[in-house]
Structure 1
Amino acid sequence: MKRLLELLGFIALVQGVLGLLHEVTHWHLGLVQRFGFLDGHEIYASAVLVVLGFALFAVAESRGVR
């Protein structure tokens, strides 16, 4: 379960950073800009993904090895 949370956290963090990088550089990176319902809200969605990634890492770390 810890590995799954870490993997999901890594994916969310990478997609969030790529979305923010897309907004700054206009390179076509990440998945956030590809969703039509997020038009005009890509920065917020990317920031939420970065925070979600860190939250998932924190949950995975709190699970620890049992």
Structure 2
Amino acid sequence: MASITIELPDSQFQKLQELAKVYGVSAEVFLCATIEDWLSNPKSDFNQAAEYVLNKNAELYRRLA
């Protein structure tokens, strides 16, 4: 298993610890779960929104082309 080290500003680290505490896990476990979820669901909200707009306005784009 690989490991990485990252530097976070104190304010971000504090937020990370607070979120982990809400879920009752360590910051490391919380980060691992979050990264795992992100990697298994790579489609971001932006991509979903862009896809929606492109599909919604497809006819308009065809006319303008």
TM more than 0.5: no
Rg: which structure is higher? 2
TM-score of the two chains, using structure 1 as the length reference:
0.36
Write 1 or 2 for the structure with the bigger share of helix. Answer: 1
TM-score of the two chains, using structure 2 as the length reference:
0.37
